[in-house]
C-alpha cells in the first residue's frame, strides 16, 4: 500500500506538470483552478484524483495503528476535498459565484487547512523521528502561505477590488499545493519508522515473555536441591556448604 501511494503521488505530479506544459498559461497570476477551462483541462481532475488516492492509502495505514485516527481523518478529508475540487470546477473570472464554484472554493480551503494540521499532529507525536522536523516545517510553511492565499478574498470583502494581475495568486496557491504534497510525501518515511518501531517493540515483548516463561518453568538448581535435601540424601558436604 505504501508503494501504491507513492506511485499515485508520482503519477499525479507528472500529470499536473504536463497540464502546465501543454496549456502554456502564466503560472504567476493564473490559479491552478483556471486550467480546467483549457482544452487539456481534463488533466486537472485526473491529477487531483491521483493525489486523493495517495492520501486515502496513507490515511488507511495511519488509521490501522489506532493511535493516529485524528491525523488519518484529516488526511482522508484532504483526499475527499481533492475529489470535490476536481469534480466541481471553479467559475470563470467575472462570473458570479455558482454552487459549483462555491463547493470548489470551500473544499480547497478545507483541504489547505487539513493537511498541515495532520502534519503538525504527526510531527508532535513522533518528535523523536528524524522525519518529524521536515513534516513540521512543511506544515508551518503551508499555513503561512495560506494566509497570503486567503488575504485577497478578505480584502475584497471590504470593497477593494483586486485582480490576478495585482497579486501573484498563482505563485501563492502553487506554494501551498507544493508544501502540502510535500507533507503527503513525507508521510511515507513516518509510516515506515512507525512500522519499524512497532516491530522492535513487539520483538522486545516476545523476548521478555519467553524469558519469563523459561524462568518460571525451569527446575531448581542442584545447589538448592542439596540444601533442601541435606546430607542424609548423599549430597557431598562441599555442595551442602555451597
Report pLDDT digits (tens) over 5-14: 999 999 999 9
- 139 band by pLDDT with thresholds 50, 70 and 90: very high
* Residues whose CB falls within 8 Å of the CB of residue 129, separated by 6 or more in sequence, listed in order: 190, 193
Enter the pTM of the model: 0.76
pLDDT digits (tens, 9 = 90+) for 73-120: 999 999 999 999 999 999 988 788 899 999 999 999 999 999 999 999
Mean pLDDT computed over 124-134: 87
Inter-CA distances, 16 with 41, 47, 153, 174, 224, Å? 10, 6, 25, 11, 76
Let me know if residue 50 belongs to a domain.
Answer: yes
pLDDT digits (tens, 9 = 90+) for 47-67: 999 999 999 999 998 888 777
Phi, psi of 105 (to 5 degrees): -65, -50
For the chain, the distance separating the N- and C-terminal CA atoms, rounded to the nearest angstrom, is 61
pLDDT of residue 219: 57
pLDDT of residue 218: 55
Exposure of 171 in the CB half-sphere (CA atoms within 13 A): 6
Let me know if residue 237 belongs to a domain.
Answer: no
pLDDT of residue 17: 94
Mean pLDDT computed over 191-203: 54
Let me know if residue 211 belongs to a domain.
Answer: no
Let me know if residue 152 belongs to a domain.
Answer: yes
pLDDT digits (tens, 9 = 90+) for 1-51: 889 999 999 999 999 999 999 988 888 888 899 999 999 999 999 999 999
pLDDT of residue 195: 54
Let me know if residue 150 belongs to a domain.
Answer: yes
Asked if 161 contacts 151 with a C-beta cutoff of 8 angstroms, the reply is: no
Query: Which long-range contacts link 58-67 to residues 24+ away (Cβ below 8 Å)?
Result: 58/2, 58/5, 58/184, 58/187, 58/188, 58/191, 60/1, 61/1, 61/2, 61/5, 61/191, 62/122, 62/187, 62/191, 65/194, 65/198, 67/125
Task: Provide the residue range defining the domain that includes 196.
Answer: 2-204
CA distance 106 to 117: 17
Let me know if residue 17 belongs to a domain.
Answer: yes
Number of domains comprising the chain? 1
pLDDT of residue 113: 95
CB atoms within 10 A of CB 72: 24
pLDDT digits (tens, 9 = 90+) for 146-172: 998 888 777 777 766 665 556 788 899
Let me know if residue 146 belongs to a domain.
Answer: yes
- 212 band by pLDDT with thresholds 50, 70 and 90: low
pLDDT of residue 240: 39
Let me know if residue 160 belongs to a domain.
Answer: yes
Amino acid at each position: 500500500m505504501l508503494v501504491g501511494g507513492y506511485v499515485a503521488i508520482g503519477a499525479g505530479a507528472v500529470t499536473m506538470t504536463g497540464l502546465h506544459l501543454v496549456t502554456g498559461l502564466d503560472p504567476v497570476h493564473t490559479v491552478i483552478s483556471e486550467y480546467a477551462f483549457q482544452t487539456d483541462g481534463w488533466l486537472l481532475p485526473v491529477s487531483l484524483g491521483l493525489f486523493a488516492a495517495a492520501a486515502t492509502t496513507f490515511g488507511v495505514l495511519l488509521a490501522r495503528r489506532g493511535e493516529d485516527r485524528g491525523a488519518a481523518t484529516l488526511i482522508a478529508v484532504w483526499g475527499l476535498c481533492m475529489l470535490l475540487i476536481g469534480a466541481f470546477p471553479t467559475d470563470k473570472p467575472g462570473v458570479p459565484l455558482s454552487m459549483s464554484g462555491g463547493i470548489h472554493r470551500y473544499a480547497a480551503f478545507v483541504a489547505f487547512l487539513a493537511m498541515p494540521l495532520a502534519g503538525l499532529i504527526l510531527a508532535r507525536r513522533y518528535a523523536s523521528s528524524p522525519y518529524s522536523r521536515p513534516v513540521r516545517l512543511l506544515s508551518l510553511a503551508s499555513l503561512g502561505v495560506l494566509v497570503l492565499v486567503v488575504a485577497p478574498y478578505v480584502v475584497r470583502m471590504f470593497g477593494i477590488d483586486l485582480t490576478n494581475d495585482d497579486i501573484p495568486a498563482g505563485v501563492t496557491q502553487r506554494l501551498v499545493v507544493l508544501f502540502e504534497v510535500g507533507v503527503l510525501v513525507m508521510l511515507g518515511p513516518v509510516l515506515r519508522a512507525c512500522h519499524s518501531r512497532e516491530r522492535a517493540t513487539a520483538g522486545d515483548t516476545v523476548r521478555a515473555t519467553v524469558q519469563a516463561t523459561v524462568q518460571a518453568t525451569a527446575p531448581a538448581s542442584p545447589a538448592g536441591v542439596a540444601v533442601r535435601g541435606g546430607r542424609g540424601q548423599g549430597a557431598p558436604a562441599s555442595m551442602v556448604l555451597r
